[in-house]
Amino acid sequence: MLRSYYFRLGFKNLDRMALFLLLPSLLFLIIFFLYPFFYGLILSFTPEKGKPIYDNFYVFLTDDWQRSTIWKTIRLAIPITILAILWSVPLAYTMRRGIRFERVVTTFLILPVSLGTVLIAEGVLGFLGGNGWFNQFLINIGLIEEPLRLTYNYIGVVIGLFLKNFPFCFLMLLGYVSGINPEIENSARILGASPRQVFWRVMLPLMAPGITIAFALVFVLDFAVFPTAILLGQPADATRTIAIAAYQMAFEHYDMPKASAIAMIMAVIQIIFLAIILAFRKRLYRGTSLGIAKG
Amino acid sequence: MQKEAIGTLDIQITKRFGKKTVLDNFTLTVEGKEFVTLLGPSGCGKTTALNCLAGLIDLSEGRILADGERLDTLPPEKRGIGMVFQNYALFPHMPVLKNISFGLEVQKRPMDEIKSRVEEVLSLVRLQGFEERFPGQLSGGQQQRVAIARALALRPRLLLLDEPLSNLDAKLRQDMRAELKNLHSELGLTLVYVTHDQTEALSLSDRVAVINEGVIQQIGTPMEIFESPANLFVADFMGCQNFFTLKVKEIESDGKIAVLEQDGLELRLSNIPQPKIGDDITLTIRPDDIQVVDAPSLASQAPVGERDNTTPGVVSVVQYLGKENDIDVVIQNDMKIRVRSPVKVERGDKIILYFDPERIIFIPR
């Protein structure tokens, strides 16, 4: 019935049908994304009485303590993203044709994503904390006398955030690598390339577009770090990220316009980074659209 | 790493995936400069055999010897073999030039050698002027030629081709077939070619190995394979569509001519080796070797009804093919015969078929 109905509608009307079906998601987008965004944008340009229109931004950017959150966030996000990529690429590459117990391995890797930040933070505290297993083990075998400080500081956040976002990065790259036609790799081998040459000259360039996209997405995730920075870091000092600054402005000082300004600054920085990464991707590679799987 | 052209290639492979035996004691000897085709339906193991030769998969048992030296223990990059894949497997991120020079570059050949080799193979496949194009900007036929050029640039001592023409349209396929044959004789290449297309196998090869379910059914020249298939499978695969099993009823006094009969179909044949009365004999004949000797559209000639090796039948299906028709004829006992003939017939016509005894193929058990 439905089929014949579609047929009678013809193609033009099918488009109209598709638009109609898109409506709910469009509505969702408008209500939950566009509206808050523009509301926040207007709010951020609503200064206190008698101040210039850009005052909310000006206050944040001229206050050294506040401005330092930008650097503190970047200092976390970039190394963690690079670490996740460096770890994922070789792992995804070796697993590209499947391995034994692959399901078990992937399940373990997906687990941190599904557990949520708080559980991961608790795990890290229990394992790497001052009285954690790791430190006790090192002390017991006599390697160290004082426990290593691995939590409630910069390192703690790096570890926690890495654990949370690495699986996402890895799974994305695994999907990308396994999609590359294995015959391409085989033909490189037969042409005399060693496994090392195959990786550097053929597979890595073919993976590059996927790597840059994974980099961009993981960077955005890392840049918005909030709970991990509080639970595993020093939210009052070394790991006071820009998201914490925005939160404090909104819910401790109840200054929504200034909090919105911080959120806008955060968005602009992310967009700048994404633009750089995507520009790099464009320069890097011309082949993707030319059919990566089928020659 | 360049090696001498191969004199003889001795192949003996058994390959199992888990419990499934994909190649069962696959034994083949390829002489230097020979064009050998592995022919079989999909899943018969022919591509597995090729991948074993290339070193992409390991043998379960057996060995591959090139002029007496073990080849199967070397990794693919050390075998000096070229391969052309079904999907060409060009490097999508490199222009044609880099695709072709890739093998020479990873082997760190001198620049001037790389340059002259690339030019040489580019002109060989007539792709000059395409150096800077990317694979995605080429047509299927051009990609195919790049793949061949890329393999030839290394002057491989053995070239493997895995269904290289199956992604091309019919006309291009015919042209590429001629080009391949020309390249083979011009360059004196040793070639192992995999296909499921009997026309390709017959037209290109010096020898054909017909494979089914991992076992070689027959090895021979295209003519041997076509004219005297070793068994039912080969005959079927080589386009013999009509199969009969008849009983030997009589043997004439000279001991050569046997009369076979089943359900009213009677044939007098002289090419049955050592017939014995009562034997079941399996025979086959190609559709175009059966003649329509009487049909309503033919001007009635001398009565043919009593001629040897004829049978009456009724036309059930006619497929018009242009020059000829594919005609399905029902003869005695509801047996269906496929005939290819230029004679015009229609469904329901009563016709008489003649089986040329010279063209009837005896299938050994």
What single string gives the DSSP state of each residue in B162-186?
ESTTTTS-HHHHHHHHHHHHHHHHH
Whole-angstrom distance, CA of residue B233 vs CA of residue B209: 13
Residues of chain B with pLDDT under 50: 1-2
Helix (H) or strand (E) holding B242: strand B242-251
Token pair in block for residue A141: 């075998």
Tokens at B335, concatenated? 């047996």
Predicted pLDDT of residue B1? 41
Q: Which two tokens stand for residue B343?
A: 């004679």
pTM (predicted TM-score): 0.82
Mean pLDDT, range A41-65, rounded to an integer: 92
pLDDT tier for residue A241 given thresholds of 50, 70 and 90 = very high
Closest CA to A84 of A109, A103, A59: A109
Q: Nearest Cβ partner of B76 from A183, A184, A190?
A: A190
Interchain proximity A287–B136, CB inside 8 Å? yes
Q: Stretch A240-269: mean pLDDT, rounded? A: 94
**pLDDT at A262 exceeding the cut of 60:** yes
CB distance from A180 to chain B under 8 Å? no
Share of chain A above pLDDT 70, in %: 91
Closest Cα of chain B to A179: distance in Å?
Answer: 14
Q: What pLDDT does B306 receive?
A: 62
Going through chain A in order, the beta strands assigned E by DSSP cover none
Confidence of residue A152 (pLDDT cuts 50, 70, 90): very high
- Quick check: A215 and A77 in contact, CB under 8 A? no
| Interface membership of B138 toward A (CB under 8 Å) | no
Residue B109: predicted pLDDT:
93
CA distance A52 to A121: 42
Least CB-CB distance to B150: which of A191, A193, A291? A191
Distances (CA, A) of B257 to A141, B227, B230, B245, B249: 97, 20, 22, 17, 11
Place of tokens 């036929």: B141
What is the pLDDT averaged over residues A144-155? 90
Report the mean per-residue pLDDT for chain A: 87
Closest CB to B103 among A192, A285, A286: A192
- Extract the tokens encoding B9: 């290639």
Report whether pLDDT(A1) > 60.
Answer: no
Q: Where are the alpha helices (DSSP H) in B188-322?
A: 198-204, 222-227, 232-237
At A103-114, the pLDDT tens digits run 888 888 888 778
Longest Cα separation, chain A: 81
- How confident is the model over A113-141, as a mean pLDDT? 89
Q: CA distances (Å), B31 to each of A40, B34, B192, in order?
A: 79, 5, 11
Closest CA in chain B for residue A181: B89
B54, B90, B143: residue with CB nearest A190: B54
Q: Is A194 on the interface with B (CB under 8 A)?
A: yes
A211 touches chain B (CB under 8 A): no
Using the predicted structure, report yes or no on whether residue A274 has a pLDDT greater than 50. Answer: yes
Contact B103 A191 (CB under 8 A): yes
Residue B264 has a pLDDT of 78
pLDDT of residue A97: 86
Least confident of A40-54, A67-81, A95-109, B324-338: A95-109
Residue B135 near chain A (CB below 8 Å): yes
